[in-house]
Structure 1
């Protein structure tokens, strides 16, 4: 009888629980079909009655926005639901008492009902006003894939946010594009863009004849043309087989028949170069009616010489090139592109396309950012959790099977939030790069930006502890269990975002990873010669200069209780013991201390150079403190915040400085000042091809005359320090809001070509660095701006008329420039930043499009839409409009 009663009760309870789960799933399903809209209302909220300082906003800066949820179905009254969403801005206040927002980790937040919640009425819209930190100036500040959960129910993405077209659920920003009242940037309307482009006209064919990209040191163009339409007969036997194959693939990609008669011969003759001309990568190219001969100082030089010949090939039409003689050598030894696959993964195919284009434009360093807080992207034998868990994001609050969703990845692992390269993938990538004379420099970021690794190694620890193997469990554990530090990184991760530098296990982990990466490089035939330590941003953001303590607040800063904030590792027993023993001065010095320790491991593996972001080594005495033969630093201070001067400090301490300035060569920053462009913008509001082309990387003060600061204002630059010169130039693509391969290529190209031009070629208008010389934007006039302008017109015409079509042939989904346009006396005038790009216009809001001809400008009225189109006719720019 008792047994029977228990069975009945159990069955009844199961039914209740099942019914509850079904009800919760029904709620989740309903909410997932809500319409969701996000609208920015005021980006200068502090000027309009919001006390941003009291809310704890950095530099007392905050914005107002509204989340609107529209229920198209039956009423939802249940309180058993959570909406999870991604926001790169911290939510400081919710102005609807029915809802609350809680920060979870990184950019992940959750929106929940309060006790005051009355439900989502059928067929009605509910608005949730919020206050965010900072500003929201570009559409990509809002992230997709909001999703709903309830206990026992499967998570569902809100369908209206499950898109990469953010305009589907984000209201156009309209007038909300200024950061502050002092923001003097120019919004790129069609008219403003026309004005900006108005000094750039397409050069005629004779003016572009014989032009090579990037520009050689010396070229003598002859009068004769060489017709390659009958094909070429390459003799590339001076090069290794893999490089020969890479060049033959480039011939084929550009449509050149390699079974023809015109001889193209590459050779290596070190004796032919002497003195200043004997620079690694130097070459000479002679093209005449009989043959084309490339003579390289070394194999890289011969390879680059062939690429210069290929540069001359027209993208379409007759394959005629100018007879010429060129003598050339690279400007910098380090000519790099950095790609972040940690925040969002990018596929092997996209990486290989990038390497191919780097080779075409003579870039030679691929800085591969393989780990970050949001993802670990490389298989390491013996540490399966790194990829089983650390490479995957999904909705698992326990993080036992994956990392928490971040950066618009939503609850599932079926997007670029997840992914990794197998050993075989990585070896293939390194082989592909080596064939193109590109060095792969892997970066495993530490001690900060390490959360994917720390969480993965916690999972490994738990697995082995359950198996009863405590020694093995602790071997690679990266967190100190005694550490209770309350610390927050710059992207809002807690102490789990920092690998602990005071643990022997951390050294063992680094040694293990270096060894495995080194073995992959050996198998690929490219020895690992540079290891990137990372080292950046090991700090607590709430102890930064934009916050002030509530006990003694300073005006203009966010007011918080700083007594509750700790520096990273401040409460780690292991780190406290190190400080007490005198091994390190204090916890502030731990990042640089760990850099020195890692350099010993790097050196022990026979790797010649260590590289790091400069702030990770800031407390080291100088380069001699490190064990490796050389130490490279990626210098990433913005110029207008003093970078024109602080770069010299690093160079004078013996570091090899790789210029990596955010305000010029961060390719994840927007192309122009327009809310529909994409990217982060903390360093500048835009970096287009023209700005990058105008960059003087080896005389940083000079740039004050040719550029503006983040707010579009002039600045002054001078350094009284000696400048030994830059080691190289590197452009960076960070992937926080670059989720897909298509978005990656939109941001990289064609800006990569301008980066290559400055990395390879020093222009005549670039001045020698002169200690103590002052440049004042708008006041001094030391730069030959006419020479700069003429050089840009030449380069822009080459890119627009020739290079973009080559990217089409390579399958690269580059950004097409948005046209400028105006209507004067009923006639449409249109132009483009890269002359040679085809323009189209529409008089019926995009239903039909017509080719724009500058020589026969059409009569128009009303609103006219304009766009540019790729040479192959398959892709189009963002559409803009102008009214008559």
Structure 2
């Protein structure tokens, strides 16, 4: 009987038997997939309320309580043969129910399963499962979506209520569980507190914003007349290559300005000699706008391009085309002005990246730091190594990880979401070409030796495939693990030893060489030579050997108790690494990441790549920048300031490294915008970073920031350094993607904060002070910073964003974050404001059934229970709603 006849027979049998043909395990899975799920954080200060967090092994003895409630919407279940998989970014330390246990798989993947004492769940009944987790759960995005159920060989199914990005559908309101500790002095952002925070920012008249170029130029003189671009522009762009000229035309068109030979004439030229009073550096320009014509004189192509962007920055959002006449002299503050995007944790589309690049160019940001790989995903096609994307670029429920990586970060058991995905070779080339046309250098990062699990698992799948085919030598060519290494180590993201490629293997270096070679070829084909390579290098450690843990045999108060005899440094039990240390090639295990970085720098030099970059902790055991083969070595400096970063930054600069200021507490865009549990993001470095905080950051005098901000817990801190400070080489804002699953999430987290980064990286403000060794800034006590100048500068910038720039984002289809309004009721009248004046506010007096525009000149009479939200300029999108 042929296969077709067998299939038809099977179909007939299933049809005849009906639902009874479905295996019992599949029926069970299908039923549980319709369970109700409720996740509730019940105590974020569990150590104060009877939980021995130290004995449970919690870092710094910090743990929280939560309750998972499952509701059976079908027939009674007595089977114990099922499990629910979920992503727990904070490890579950205990289950306070003898009917269930929680089993950690790898990373954040955890399995909840019945024990032998499971008593069943009756039809329509609910069962509460109290758990204890490490650390805190302060924002709703600590809970990940897409829990799924399995049983035996049945196909897994996502539990329906969790298959959403609207986490409020199964996560209970946090109530008063928004503080990590009793001493937490952060302020919960609600309507009233937000109104108070915004109250010092007034809405400016349009005339007050006239002639305001973004980012702010070195010098500008505004004249009284206007130039009219409403009938189009006639661009003379002979000073630019074709692709850059086309990028300029596209941007004008996007903003509603047509190309017209009879339009307003704009001429350009490159003439460094004509810019004698402007710093002689790439990107410098002079812009003259008269009533009847404009001229851009650039130091180089980049200067011409930026001068044209400055013209476009003046265009109003309403498309009227009228701009101020003026003369501007301008040059960048830092040569390196970067945006970092992580596509490893969650994938983001090429279309979203191109939209981002266009905005970067408009705001004169010139480096795209492209984080292409991590534990959770490999996102770039490498010819000859198909497993990197076929296995390392996909997630699914394959416990052996031969077809894909295990689910992480709420991706669920299937590969049809942004947990999976990669850029083809041609995709990457197109991205680089697009960036090149806009004066943006693409800096690829392939993270190693830690954060390398996607590569490690993919190359193990390759090894198994070729080994099975009898090609033993070829199988080992790019293998990244020592098979005899059984070190017990835990990465920061809770992965085991598979998180680290082995730096002692020749095959690891061969792998690095292969990847560098292939990406270098892509850059060559795109017409942008690869001048710099990002090694990654961060967090190559065992988190359980950190300072927040103690040996259970010699316990220290306030720390998690572990059996330290069972904990290893990465590669501790690798015979290959042990041999290298015994031979004296490497002094000890701690030096292995820097040793591997030095080796990779040699590869880069051989490829003619003269600049290497890394996260600073990956190079900490190298003597200095001169130890590397590349002439230039840069570090992304990511120590938090209040934990001493204001001082340690000097050490890196004084060792000859180019320091790229990347501090998490000010420049991580994956952190929440405000202290409210409904915001998205991680918060280990700070509880919030909004546009204002990023704008107020002083990147070249880090101690100064102690006067303008607080630490993670809302406390003042003091900062000074007695060391010399050679100055920063650049500044970068980072968007890590653990909680950023979709393109909409990405744009929400990035915009408009990207603009504050662009402003500080391009322009040094009058209120920023020179670094002075030994000068101490004490938050709440000293008053070195001219706070009124800072306030007025922010007021100007906030109005530019609210009245002009957000509407431009809409023209490009970018789903930026609308600020949630602040509001209060005074004498029965609604008073409302936003962080970005000019953004429209709406209110509802009938529980959201209908909405009215808020008029700040004539505040309406309302009663408690009124709802508020902000509205996009096109009226199509709204902020989160809040009630008073």
TM-score range, shorter chain: over 0.9
Structure 2: distance between partners of 1:340 and 1:206: 40
Q: Alpha-carbon deviation of 1:290?
A: 2.5
Q: Alpha-carbon deviation of 1:261?
A: 1.9
1:651-670 aligned at under 5 Å gives the runs: 651-670=653-672
- Contact kept in structure 2, 1:707 and 1:714, CA below 8 Å: yes
Q: Describe the SS at the equivalent of 2:601.
A: helix
- Contact kept in structure 1, 2:278 and 2:330, CA below 8 Å: no
In the alignment, is residue 809 of structure 1 matched against residue 842 of structure 2?
no
Partner of 2:303: 301
Partner of 1:68: 69
Q: Alpha-carbon deviation of 1:289?
A: 1.8
Partner of 2:478: 476
1:430-579 aligned at under 5 Å gives the runs: 430-579=432-581
Structure 2: distance between partners of 1:121 and 1:746: 42
What's the TM-score, normalizing by structure 2? Answer: 0.97
1:242-253 aligned at under 5 Å gives the runs: 242-253=243-254
**Number of residues of Structure 1 aligned to a counterpart in Structure 2:** 868
Partner of 1:676: 678
In the alignment, is residue 26 of structure 1 matched against residue 8 of structure 2?
no
In the alignment, is residue 361 of structure 1 matched against residue 363 of structure 2?
yes
1:700-719 aligned at under 5 Å gives the runs: 700-719=702-721
Structure 1: distance between partners of 2:427 and 2:849: 44
Partner of 1:5: none
In the TM superposition, what whole-angstrom CA distance separates every residue of 1:593-619 from its partner, at most 9, and x where no partner exists?
A: 111010000111000100000000000
Structure 1: distance between partners of 2:859 and 2:675: 27
Q: Alpha-carbon deviation of 1:275?
A: 7.0
1:144-223 aligned at under 5 Å gives the runs: 144-223=145-224
Partner of 1:853: 855
- Contact kept in structure 1, 2:275 and 2:286, CA below 8 Å: no
Structure 1: distance between partners of 2:545 and 2:208: 57
Q: Describe the SS at the equivalent of 2:208.
A: helix
Structure 2: distance between partners of 1:870 and 1:381: 44
Partner of 2:763: 761
In the TM superposition, what whole-angstrom CA distance separates every residue of 1:118-176 from its partner, at most 9, and x where no partner exists?
A: 11110011100000000000000000000001112100000010000000000010100
551-560 vs 267-276, greater mean Cα deviation: 267-276
Structure 2: distance between partners of 1:806 and 1:827: 33
Partner of 2:107: 106
- Contact kept in structure 1, 2:227 and 2:292, CA below 8 Å: no
Q: Describe the SS at the equivalent of 2:23.
A: helix
Structure 2: distance between partners of 1:523 and 1:344: 27
- Contact kept in structure 1, 2:278 and 2:329, CA below 8 Å: no
Q: Describe the SS at the equivalent of 1:866.
A: strand
Structure 1: distance between partners of 2:640 and 2:258: 47
1:1-20 aligned at under 5 Å gives the runs: none
Question: Over the residues paired in the alignment, what is the CA RMSD in angstroms?
Answer: 1.3
Structure 1: distance between partners of 2:678 and 2:147: 20
Partner of 2:130: 129
Q: Describe the SS at the equivalent of 2:341.
A: strand
1:413-428 aligned at under 5 Å gives the runs: 413-428=415-430
Structure 1: distance between partners of 2:768 and 2:184: 29
Partner of 2:118: 117
Q: Where in structure 1 are there 5+ consecutive unaligned residues?
A: 1-13
Q: Alpha-carbon deviation of 1:452?
A: 0.2
Structure 2: distance between partners of 1:660 and 1:403: 30
Structure 1: distance between partners of 2:466 and 2:737: 34
Q: Alpha-carbon deviation of 1:273?
A: 2.8
Q: Where in structure 2 are there 5+ consecutive unaligned residues?
A: 1-13
Q: Alpha-carbon deviation of 1:19?
A: 8.2
Structure 2: distance between partners of 1:702 and 1:436: 34
Q: Describe the SS at the equivalent of 1:111.
A: strand
- Contact kept in structure 1, 2:255 and 2:319, CA below 8 Å: no
In the alignment, is residue 53 of structure 1 matched against residue 59 of structure 2?
no
Structure 1: distance between partners of 2:327 and 2:277: 20
Q: Describe the SS at the equivalent of 2:866.
A: strand
Q: Describe the SS at the equivalent of 1:568.
A: coil
Q: Describe the SS at the equivalent of 1:354.
A: helix
Q: Describe the SS at the equivalent of 1:448.
A: coil
Partner of 1:596: 598
Structure 1: distance between partners of 2:819 and 2:263: 39
Structure 1: distance between partners of 2:134 and 2:153: 34
Structure 1: distance between partners of 2:245 and 2:255: 16
Q: Describe the SS at the equivalent of 2:807.
A: helix
In the alignment, is residue 138 of structure 1 matched against residue 129 of structure 2?
no
Q: Describe the SS at the equivalent of 1:84.
A: strand
Q: Describe the SS at the equivalent of 2:291.
A: coil
- Contact kept in structure 1, 2:230 and 2:319, CA below 8 Å: no
Q: Alpha-carbon deviation of 1:21?
A: 7.1
Structure 2: distance between partners of 1:224 and 1:268: 27
Q: Alpha-carbon deviation of 1:270?
A: 1.8
Q: Describe the SS at the equivalent of 1:444.
A: strand
Q: Alpha-carbon deviation of 1:237?
A: 1.5
In the TM superposition, what whole-angstrom CA distance separates every residue of 1:175-194 from its partner, at most 9, and x where no partner exists?
A: 00001111000000100000
- Contact kept in structure 1, 2:256 and 2:319, CA below 8 Å: no
- Contact kept in structure 2, 1:650 and 1:657, CA below 8 Å: yes
In the alignment, is residue 88 of structure 1 matched against residue 106 of structure 2?
no
In the TM superposition, what whole-angstrom CA distance separates every residue of 1:302-330 from its partner, at most 9, and x where no partner exists?
A: 00000000000001052110000000000
What's the TM-score, normalizing by structure 1? Answer: 0.97
Structure 2: distance between partners of 1:113 and 1:715: 48
Q: Describe the SS at the equivalent of 1:303.
A: helix
In the TM superposition, what whole-angstrom CA distance separates every residue of 1:803-831 from its partner, at most 9, and x where no partner exists?
A: 00000001100000000000011000000
1:611-760 aligned at under 5 Å gives the runs: 611-760=613-762
Structure 2: distance between partners of 1:637 and 1:281: 30
Partner of 2:270: 268
Structure 2: distance between partners of 1:877 and 1:294: 39
Partner of 1:842: 844
Partner of 2:286: 284
Structure 1: distance between partners of 2:559 and 2:47: 12
The runs of at least 4 consecutive aligned structure 1 residues that moved more than 4 Å come to 18-21
In the TM superposition, what whole-angstrom CA distance separates every residue of 1:192-233 from its partner, at most 9, and x where no partner exists?
A: 000000010111122111001100000000000111111110
Partner of 2:789: 787
Structure 2: distance between partners of 1:384 and 1:671: 39
Q: Describe the SS at the equivalent of 2:193.
A: helix
- Contact kept in structure 2, 1:338 and 1:366, CA below 8 Å: yes
